[in-house]
């Protein structure tokens, strides 16, 4: 252990002091510090906002751990909302919940329940599009145990076949309603979207890998073929070569005929670059050669904004168009749900692709913008950490919150402070797997660390007490050697023993053989 834990209690005390604890589930505010210090990796860096928001997001995440008669689940909203399923569950963000929660130490009891809930205990696994099986796979990869996956394999297959029955279009791609993507009033609308197609590609890959672990070669081959088909069709049909972006082909229904694959024939009012076009990289779908899409992320006419990224390109005529009868719009406002998808995809781009379109500096800048959005000005002299539904990309105002407050916190809309502590995105996973670069793999013998921090930007950082495959990891950088007392450079400790060193920030690979421990 490198970091003194007591140093970070100030954050939790401040969050508790500023909080109006409207709902208490498994872990109350008064018990939060005790629980967090036993379960989360600790993190330190020179950027005060990035560091503070890291602890804030763990503090809010534990609020959503809920004990039910069907075991533990992770909630999205705190107040009960009428569109939720059993126990106020919503499947839409479950992929995010698994990615974020995989770094908690004592997580097995929670996430084995949570995974099983969706398939055997009354969870509605297809009410919204999501990447459930992929999320469970990535949770188990960090845990280093795959028994949960094998146990649920038949359920995974049944879930996938149900998607095929309800949403498979004659083109071979999957049709989805923008509302069922939880993206109401998007400019593109419903049709063949990068969302559900990417999610089901990822689930098919995870099913194939699980089938291999289970020794079912027939099932492995079938789902490997399905994932390859989805990928090929996405690259051929959802990529607009003129505008160099993955886009939606609008369709009125999943049975509607598609007369043309040419985006130039799409109604200009629906033909748009949207942030969902980055989702394919979340799952490493594109081959080399599609990277120019990422120029749009850092372009002020594309998606870049002070509290962005925006969910639609700013140059489009319908950007931020108003719908006065609805508080949740996806025609331009910034949504943490999509921001965390985009930043995960960007980390994959920087790790897995040979490209020069975006840089480490771009990644850090986007992460700083995301951290900056996690605040609310409560008076002229006080701002507090906050996470809610959607933001105005130019002012940082929490849009849905302001609208719901003006409407008088109507009961049918979820009531008082519906979106407070909204668990609809990731942040801590972006720090751990992206910024600090702990890249989870399914290789039991390989540990990959690849920080996405530009050399010379930070003089120090430390990610301490990370639980990975039953090991306790510390990743530490000290430019001068004076801060942590172990010398200058980048260090990786495994179970308290130094296992790797680099004089500068860069990629490190460690052979994790059992004999070393």
List CB contacts of 193: < 8 A, sequence separation 6 or more: 175, 176, 178, 181, 248, 276
Domain edge (last residue) among 435, 460, 489:
435
Q: Are residues 388 and 430 in the same domain?
A: yes
Cα(459)–Cα(488) distance, rounded to whole angstroms? 10
Q: Are residues 401 and 512 in the same domain?
A: no
Q: What region does 102 belong to: left with phi over 0, alpha with psi -120 to 50, or beta?
A: alpha
Q: What is the per-residue DSSP string for 125-137?
A: TTSS---HHHHHH
Write down the residue that tokens 């279009």 correspond to.
169
Cα(176)–Cα(300) distance, rounded to whole angstroms? 29
Cα(299)–Cα(279) distance, rounded to whole angstroms? 18
pLDDT tens for the chain, 517 residues long, are 899 999 999 999 999 999 999 999 999 999 999 999 999 999 999 999 999 999 999 999 999 999 999 999 999 999 999 999 999 999 999 999 999 999 999 889 999 999 999 999 999 999 999 999 999 999 999 999 999 999 999 999 999 999 999 999 999 999 999 999 999 999 999 999 999 999 999 999 999 999 999 999 999 999 999 999 999 999 999 999 999 999 999 998 888 888 778 899 999 999 999 999 999 999 999 999 999 999 999 999 999 999 999 999 999 999 999 877 889 999 999 999 999 999 999 999 999 999 999 999 999 999 999 999 999 999 999 999 999 999 999 999 999 999 999 999 999 999 999 999 999 999 999 999 999 999 999 888 999 999 999 999 999 999 999 999 999 999 999 999 999 999 999 999 999 999 999 999 999 999 988 545 4
Cα(387)–Cα(52) distance, rounded to whole angstroms? 13
Q: Are residues 377 and 284 in the same domain?
A: yes
Q: Are residues 454 and 409 in the same domain?
A: no
Please check whether residue 70 is in contact with residue 111, taking contact to mean a CB–CB distance below 8 angstroms.
no
For residue 516, the model assigns a pLDDT of 53
For residue 269, the model assigns a pLDDT of 93
Q: Are residues 422 and 467 in the same domain?
A: no
Domain edge (last residue) among 435, 461, 483:
435
pTM: predicted TM-score of the whole model, two decimal places: 0.97
Cα(419)–Cα(404) distance, rounded to whole angstroms? 9
Q: Are residues 162 and 304 in the same domain?
A: yes
Q: Are residues 226 and 208 in the same domain?
A: yes
Please check whether residue 462 is in contact with residue 54, taking contact to mean a CB–CB distance below 8 angstroms.
no
Q: Are residues 25 and 141 in the same domain?
A: yes
Cα(296)–Cα(245) distance, rounded to whole angstroms? 9
Radius of gyration of the chain (CA): 22
For residue 325, the model assigns a pLDDT of 81
Cα(342)–Cα(489) distance, rounded to whole angstroms? 30
Q: In 3D, which of 55, 13, 11 has the Cα closest to residue 463?
A: 55
Q: Are residues 318 and 193 in the same domain?
A: yes
Q: Give 183: exposed, middle or buried? Use CB within 10 Å, 0-12, 13-18, 19+.
A: buried
Range of the structural domain that residue 483 is part of: 440-517
Q: What is the per-residue DSSP string for 383-435?
A: EEE---S-B-TTT--BHHHHHHHHTT--GGGT-TTTTTT---S-SHHIIIIII
Q: Are residues 429 and 463 in the same domain?
A: no
Q: Are residues 325 and 473 in the same domain?
A: no
Distance of CA 196 to the CA centre of its chain: 15
For residue 444, the model assigns a pLDDT of 86
Cα(208)–Cα(206) distance, rounded to whole angstroms? 5
Q: List beta partners, residue 379.
A: 382
Q: What is the sign of the dihedral through the CA atoms of 508, 509, 512 and 515?
A: negative
Number of domains comprising the chain: 2
Q: What region does 348 belong to: left with phi over 0, alpha with psi -120 to 50, or beta?
A: alpha
Domain edge (last residue) among 379, 414, 435:
435
Long-range contacts of 486-492 (CB under 8 A, 24+ apart): 486/2, 490/451, 492/447, 492/449
Q: What is the dihedral of CA 120, 123, 126, 132, to 10 degrees?
A: -70
Q: Are residues 365 and 444 in the same domain?
A: no
CATH number at residue 275: 1.50.10.10
């Amino acid at each position: 252990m490198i970091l003194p834990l007591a140093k970070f209690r100030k954050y939790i005390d401040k969050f508790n002091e500023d909080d109006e604890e409207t709902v208490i589930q498994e872990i109350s505010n008064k018990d939060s510090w005790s629980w967090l210090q036993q379960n989360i990796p600790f993190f330190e860096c020179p950027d005060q906002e990035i560091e503070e928001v890291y602890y804030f997001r763990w503090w809010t995440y534990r609020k959503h751990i809920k004990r039910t008669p069907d075991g533990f689940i992770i909630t999205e909203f705190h107040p009960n909302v009428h569109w939720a399923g059993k126990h106020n569950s919503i499947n839409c963000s479950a992929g995010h919940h698994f990615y974020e929660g995989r770094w908690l130490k004592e997580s097995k009891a929670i996430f084995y329940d949570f995974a099983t809930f969706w398939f055997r205990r009354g969870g509605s696994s297809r009410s919204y599009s999501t990447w459930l099986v992929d999320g469970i796979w990535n949770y188990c990869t960090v845990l280093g145990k795959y028994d949960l996956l094998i146990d649920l394999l038949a359920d995974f297959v049944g879930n996938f076949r149900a998607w095929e029955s309800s949403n498979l279009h004659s083109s071979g791609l999957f049709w989805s309603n923008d509302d069922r993507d939880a993206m109401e009033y998007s400019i593109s609308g419903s049709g063949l979207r990068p969302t559900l197609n990417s999610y089901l590609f990822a689930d098919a890959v995870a099913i194939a890998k699980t089938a291999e672990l289970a020794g079912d070669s027939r099932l492995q081959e079938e789902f490997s073929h399905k994932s390859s088909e989805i990928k090929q069709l996405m690259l051929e049909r959802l990529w607009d070569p003129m505008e160099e972006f993955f886009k939606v082909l609008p369709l009125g229904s999943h049975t509607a005929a598609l007369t043309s694959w040419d985006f130039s024939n799409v109604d200009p009012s629906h033909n748009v670059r949207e942030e969902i076009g980055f989702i394919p990289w979340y799952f490493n779908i594109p081959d080399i050669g599609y990277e120019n899409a990422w120029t749009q992320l850092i372009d002020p006419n594309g998606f870049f904004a002070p509290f962005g990224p925006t969910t639609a390109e700013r140059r489009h005529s319908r950007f931020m168009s108003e719908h006065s009868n609805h508080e949740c719009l996806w025609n331009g406002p910034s949504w943490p749900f999509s921001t965390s998808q985009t930043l995960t995809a960007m980390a994959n781009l920087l790790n897995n692709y040979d490209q020069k379109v975006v840089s480490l500096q771009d990644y850090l800048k986007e992460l700083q913008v995301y951290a900056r959005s996690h605040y609310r000005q409560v008076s002229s002299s006080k701002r507090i950490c906050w996470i809610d539904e959607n933001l105005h990309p130019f002012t940082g105002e929490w849009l849905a919150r302001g609208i719901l407050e003006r409407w008088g916190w109507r009961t049918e809309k979820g009531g008082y402070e519906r979106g407070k502590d909204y668990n609809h995105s990731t942040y801590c996973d972006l720090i751990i797997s992206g910024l600090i670069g702990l890249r989870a793999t399914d290789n039991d013998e390989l540990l990959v660390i690849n920080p996405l921090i530009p050399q010379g930007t930070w003089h120090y950082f430390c990610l301490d007490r990370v639980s990975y495959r039953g090991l306790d990891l510390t990743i530490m950088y000290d430019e001068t050697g004076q801060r942590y007392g172990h010398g200058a450079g980048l260090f990786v400790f495994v179970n308290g023993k130094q296992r790797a060193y680099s004089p500068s920030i860069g990629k490190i690979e460690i052979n994790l053989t059992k004999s070393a421990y």
